[in-house]
Amino acid sequence: MFTRKTLIALGIASLALSSPLLSKAQGSLPVYIGTYTGKLSKGIYRTTLNLKDGTLSKPELVAETSSPSFLAFHPNGKYLYAVNEDADFNGEKSGSLSSFQIDTATGSLTSLNQVSTHGVWPCHVMLDKAGKFAYIANYGGGNYAVIPLLADGYVGEAIQTVARTGTLGSNKARQEMPHPHSMNFAAGYKYLIGCDLGTDSVLTYRADSATGRLTPAKNLHLTSATGPRHFAFHPNGKLAFVNGELASTLTSLRYSPTTGELTPIQTLSTLPKDFKGSSTTAETKVHPSGKFVYVSNRGHDSIAVFSANAETGALTFLGNDSTLGKTPRNFSIDPSGKYLIAANQDSDSLFSFRINPTTGRLTPTGSKITVGKPVCVRFYTK
């Protein structure tokens, strides 16, 4: 017979074993997966990465919501936000932003509320350092939106939309209008960098920490039909990298923390020289060490691996590693820099890879999980 005291102790132990907040110390890390919903997907899924061997646990559905294509965690670790990449929200031609409370005992999500992003097909969300505002890229709406985050995890109505204008690129099929695709804060959270695929622009906005409002500061125009999509800073804060979706390129940039200005350094292809098919880039990530930069190729179905000189920003192409599936839209690197998880949108699969600390190249761990149309991978580190 167990005493009441013993049962309570066992309950606490059970809670600790299942808590995502403690799982890192126990050798695993929670991973949340955003998807395009449909026949095989109902919303946001959760798996865990074993930090000893890179294996992934069986995925579980933790929230039903429409096409949560990009996810972001609140700095306090209590809430998760997802853009719903739709074109109709409550009768409005718009997508939406959904908020969820994270159950730290089980990792499941409880829906809080949902608001309009005031633009169709929102595809990216970024939060400020204090967790007071969410910044949304509305791909089909041609604008960015600023949405306040309330103290209880709920989201408020948008306080600002910033319409994009500018010279359109020469790709008539994809650059028929401005297409904001991402926003990323620089170190210090003074400036926010936006990529606009439609106008080949990488934009610097000044972000007001008190009001959340954006003010244009700088505009870098890349070669026509580059299609800048996703952007990542080097750990030193002085360099940055942007992929050209339409041109299948990676460009290194020098960043001025004083003015927010970006200056191109070098541009390289993300594809092998002998590749003749059709391919577009999706995600850009910098290794925590700052030694390597990774870009996903959709069509070639690979991760392009580059080394980066931390002083000069010079890139060296190291090769391509297969993602073992079709259309790798998104991927993520665990904080230790040991593993990379790639999401293959069109083969409904995610694979984990071991990162060679010397060469940067990827080796499959042999672990695969199945999730319908996975398009976002986010490590939960709180």
Q: Summarize pLDDT for 346-362 with one digit per residue, the tens.
A: 999 999 999 999 999 99
Please say whether the beta carbons of 266 and 251 come within 8 A: yes
DSSP state of 152: T
Please say whether the beta carbons of 113 and 155 come within 8 A: yes
| Span 28-80, pLDDT tens digits | 999 999 999 999 999 999 999 999 999 999 999 999 999 999 999 999 999 99
pLDDT at 382: 86
Contacts of 325 (CB under 8 A, 6+ apart): 301, 342, 344, 346, 347, 349, 351
Q: Give the tokens for residue 313.
A: 């920003």
Confidence band (pLDDT; 50, 70, 90) for 26?
low
- Asked if pLDDT for residue 14 goes beyond 60, the answer is no
Instruction: Tell which residue, 107, 139, 99, 105, has the closest CA to residue 123.
Output: 139
Distance CA 56, CA 178 (A): 38
The structure tokens 């002085």 sit at 238
pLDDT at 373: 98
- Asked if pLDDT for residue 15 goes beyond 70, the answer is no
| Span 106-161, pLDDT tens digits | 999 999 999 999 999 999 999 999 999 999 999 999 999 999 999 999 999 999 99
- Please enumerate, as own/partner, the contacts of 83-86 that have beta carbons within 8 Å and a separation of 24 or more: 83/117, 83/122, 83/123, 83/124, 83/125, 83/136, 84/114, 84/122, 85/36, 85/121, 85/122, 85/123, 85/139, 86/120, 86/121
| Span 295-318, pLDDT tens digits | 999 999 999 999 999 999 999 999
pLDDT at 21: 46
7 or 138: whose pLDDT is higher? 138
Distance CA 140, CA 162 (A): 13
How many helical (H) and strand (E) elements, i.e. helices and strands, does the chain have?
2, 28
Please say whether the beta carbons of 46 and 32 come within 8 A: yes
pLDDT at 374: 98
Distance CA 280, CA 328 (A): 10
- Asked if pLDDT for residue 7 goes beyond 50, the answer is no
Rounded-to-10 torsion of CA 117, 121, 123, 126: -10
- Asked if pLDDT for residue 18 goes beyond 60, the answer is no
pTM over 0.75: yes
pLDDT at 11: 38
Please say whether the beta carbons of 141 and 117 come within 8 A: yes
- Asked if pLDDT for residue 1 goes beyond 50, the answer is no
Neighbours of 22 (CB within 10 A): 13
| Span 168-203, pLDDT tens digits | 999 999 999 999 999 999 999 999 999 999 999 999
DSSP state of 17: H
Distance CA 120, CA 145 (A): 11
- Which residues does residue 18 pair with via DSSP β-bridges, in sequence order? none
The structure tokens 């890349």 sit at 222
What structural domains does the chain harbor? 32-379 (2.130.10.10)
Please say whether the beta carbons of 305 and 321 come within 8 A: yes
Helix (H, G, I), strand (E, B) or coil at 274: coil
Please say whether the beta carbons of 267 and 285 come within 8 A: no
Distance CA 360, CA 365 (A): 15
Neighbours of 366 (CB within 10 A): 11
CA 117 to each of CA 4, 123, 138, 141, 335: distance values in angstroms, whole numbers, following the listed order = 50, 10, 7, 9, 30
- Asked if pLDDT for residue 22 goes beyond 50, the answer is no
Neighbours of 370 (CB within 10 A): 12
Q: Give the tokens for residue 349.
A: 């699969």
For the segment 3-13, the average pLDDT, to the nearest whole number, is: 35
CA-angle at 124, arms to 283 and 312, nearest 5°: 45
pLDDT at 291: 98
- In this structure, of 13-22, 229-238, 333-342, the range with the lowest mean pLDDT score is 13-22
Distance CA 136, CA 183 (A): 7
| Span 253-270, pLDDT tens digits | 999 999 999 999 999 999
pLDDT at 292: 98
Convert 262-291 to b/e letters by CB count within 10 Å (16 or more is b): beebbbbbbbeeebeeebbbbbbbbbeebb
